[in-house]
A and B are shown apart, each in its own frame.
Chain A
């Protein structure tokens, strides 16, 4: 392998003879050098923690500093025979299935009405579909536990005020399913919406011309064409719900309902800790996720995505007739459940001076409501430390993640380096490992490592780099693939060194993709709860942990509610940044 055009590193710009003769094995575009280094980095970040979980599942003791047990056993898998595991498995599958169906119904309904009908206030309905993304699912779960707990839930208090018996119990499987579905519906909404609005209208016109009625066209052409998006989002939501820990912990555990993630968490937190058995249950969860991911590949690879025409098409619109307003009311109902009620509940809880309330009439008493808790919380040490930690961790991991993802994407899509398929595969591994499992693996890894990072913010950064690698790589990969490679090659031919060509041409052209990937990673780091749950210490709490902690430990409901709202505000501002930056970037082009 000889390479004239290196990745930039192997030949120095000033050397008169860039390649000395005689060496047959030269690294570079076709070699190992770049891919080898990145494989080591990714293996260290991702495969080592995964490997520790696997090892723990098959050994007597969990990995500890200085002692990694190699006495292999399958005894830990006996735990899988316990009735608790069977119940947790069935609960997990039941919740995931029902939530997926409900989320698809909600997301599909909103997508269809906004993309293809004349529903009133279409822009507003579109926003309804997106908004739950700004609310981390556990904040939603906490808010719904305030709303729907059987004894003191605000909804039940309200019902009793109206003279009815309170009958809402959010600590139940239907409750968990509803909250999961409401918060994962945006995934279905986004995927199905883009599929429906990009569909080539000629395909539907052809049906109409050949005698298909509107309803028949929808049924035989439109929905089948949207099938890849529907199936894709269904599997995506199913895996997310299956591995979701926070919602299940907040809403299912109080009702004595276990899911696989909460079961793993309880085994880990049992005393003495049952880490090896937790690992074997974790393996079971990974197997489920792998099967689903594999199914997704098989199903979707058979489909041709020929519906996207790329031109500025105008999709056909369906006239809803007298159903326009009723359907708008349905969409508004979703907004109430997903956003309005939870936010109101948090506000009310944050502002109530007394933690006890038996009727909404109590609120009319003088001094019953007071906004001072926001100020108190915003000045409190707990909040300031956690907020500071969150910002530092999120910025570092988003920046680091973007750089790593760019390097991997460049090697995978722009070079002929060896093992680049393997590199991409390793980078995508975290998709198949639930956050709770990866969290355990990262904990053991950094307890065992001779590098003293455990207990510092760095270990959080490293954990986030590992967990969010797939999302980062997807964002960058899409951007690098849509940037013509000729543009960079052209700079090299016109005299620029490869490294210079990358920085002067490729990176500026990918500015939008890089920025949005950075912001996505920033958001993900800000809201991640499960992985840091195993890694935090008293000094390294981040916001998500601080909120979760205060709720779980019961006492500080008011502070937690206030903190949640401030936190949501921060998230909202962050999510608006891409649009602001994007529009400024647009102005620069003129």
Chain B
């Protein structure tokens, strides 16, 4: 079912966690709220679940308003038909796996046999049918995560909420479960709202990503849009673009990096206000200075020296100290590893130099404390 959030605000004892947030989730759509801890993403989700009482706004699931700040209407959590996978899984340790999964069905008044049969089907979907009669406290982390998911799917929720469900798992398992989550979400056409601080997870699972900073959605778009064109420098930093530098405008050479004598040309338009340039490390190429004749034409060329080279198997990660400039992160697919102190020339294509406003200006009404995610601000 589609979910509509309008003007949602939440504050705890004067501290504002969510500010005037609007979000519409389509039927069967997967939205990921992506942001750093404390940005309000979990609070937003808990408002949808009914575990927090918003201070204002309106939340509707399908055609039914579950919260309306104007009329004071608020449907209790257990009548919202919202499924939720908790970060801690919240699998009840004193019940067996099948009892956990059948719980929501029993709460809907279905009889024991029928609810068990349904629960068993869902356990098969997540590949845990063979553990149905195990005590839940005997499961591994990955298995608990699947039980938590099965339990929420079994209730056929109007919307499924997932609160960093993979964050307690090790990297391998996380990759596997990410794929499986997406498969189940698509197969079942689950409307879902997913909260995470991991951009890889967000890119993999979302139909659309909503980037949250200091209680607001700063950018909303498909994973491709977000990845290709982060709206601000701080979002770019958050998305793992390591080369973000504040720049001064003007001059013939292009955009001069603040505090350095180096400038970069960009093929992108320059927005108003304080700006930064952002360059993905994998868009930069690095060449031994002695073989600099291989260079292509439409690119910034900068001379420098290798400071650190880290061999990563399929790639080599460099930190290059640019002459008269900052250190630049480079990921090179060239299997040759350049030794530290090798003089190099780096090439930054003009199209790879994004020019971003430092931050979305806050609305004039905002009296809240400075945003926690202001990492892109000029130094």
Q: In the complex, what's the smallest C-beta–C-beta distance from A370 to chain B, in angstroms? A: 53
**Interface size of A in residues (CB-CB distance below 8 Å):** 37
Q: Does A133 contact B (CB under 8 A)?
A: no
Residue-wise interface mask of B (72-90) relative to A, using a CB-CB cutoff of 8 A (1 in contact, 0 not): 1111111111111011111
| Residues of chain A within 8 A of B80, CB atoms compared | 493
Of the candidates A4, A487, A491, A495, the one whose C-beta lies within 8 Å of that of B74 is A4
Q: Which of A6, A493, A495 has the most CB of B within 10 A?
A: A493
Assuming A3-B53, A492-B77, A495-B108, is B103 touching A589 (CB within 8 A)? no
Given the known interface contacts A489-B51, A490-B84, A490-B90, the answer about A19 and B74 at a Cβ–Cβ threshold of 8 Å is yes
**Residue of chain A at shortest CB distance from B65:** A21
A494 and B107: CB pair below 8 A? yes
How distant is B318 from chain A, measured CB to nearest CB, in Å?
37
Q: List 8 A-B contacts (CB under 8 A).
A: A5-B51, A18-B79, A26-B72, A26-B74, A489-B49, A489-B84, A493-B83, A508-B94
Chain A residue nearest to B104 (CB atoms) is A494
Please report which residues of chain A, range 17-56, place their CB below 8 angstroms from some CB of chain B when the two chains form the complex: 18-19, 21-24, 26, 29-30
Residue A1 at the B interface, CB < 8 A? yes
Contact of A498 among B49, B67, B78 (CB under 8 A): B78
**Given A5-B51, A491-B103, A495-B155, are A18 and B88 neighbors across the interface (CB < 8 Å)?**
no
Complex Cα gap A497–B107 (Å): 9
Which size bracket describes the interface of B in this complex?
35 or more
> Within 8 Å of chain B (Cβ to Cβ): is A496?
yes
Q: Is A493's CB under 8 angstroms from B88's CB?
A: no
Please, how many angstroms separate the alpha-carbon atoms of A61 and B255 in the complex?
89
Residue B93 is within 8 A (CB to CB) of chain A in the complex: yes
A-B contacts besides A486-B87, A492-B77, A497-B78, 7 pairs, CB < 8 Å: A2-B74, A5-B76, A22-B71, A30-B53, A484-B90, A497-B76, A498-B76
- Chain B residue numbers with a CB within 8 Å of A496 are 78, 103, 107
> Once the chains bind, are B72 and A509 in contact (CB under 8 Å)?
no
> In the complex, what distance in Å separates the CA atom of A487 from the CA atom of B155?
17
A-B complex: 9 closest residue pairs judged by Cβ atoms: A495-B107, A21-B71, A494-B104, A486-B90, A490-B90, A4-B74, A4-B50, A486-B86, A492-B77
Give the secondary structure class of A's interface.
loop
Mostly, the B contact residues are: mixed
Which of A484, A494, A496, A498: most chain B Cβ within 10 A? A494
A501 to B76, CA, bound (A): 13
Given contacts A4-B67, A18-B79, A29-B53, A494 and B151 within 8 Å (CB-CB): yes
Question: Which residues of A approach B to under 8 Å, CB–CB?
Answer: 1-6, 11, 18-19, 21-24, 26, 29-30, 484, 486-487, 489-498, 500-501, 505, 508-509, 511, 589-590
Please state if B92 and A18 are interface contacts (CB–CB under 8 Å).
no
The closest CB in chain A to the CB of B12 belongs to A416
Contact (Cβ within 8 A) A493 B72: no
B135: Cβ under 8 A from any A Cβ = yes
Contact A21 B73 (CB under 8 A): yes
Contact A490 B86 (CB under 8 A): yes
What is the bound-complex CA distance between A19 and B151, given in angstroms? Answer: 28
Which of A1, A4, A21 is packed against the most chain B CB atoms within 10 Å?
A: A4
B135 touches A589 (CB 8 A): yes
- Tell me the minimal C-beta distance from A417 to chain B in angstroms: 13
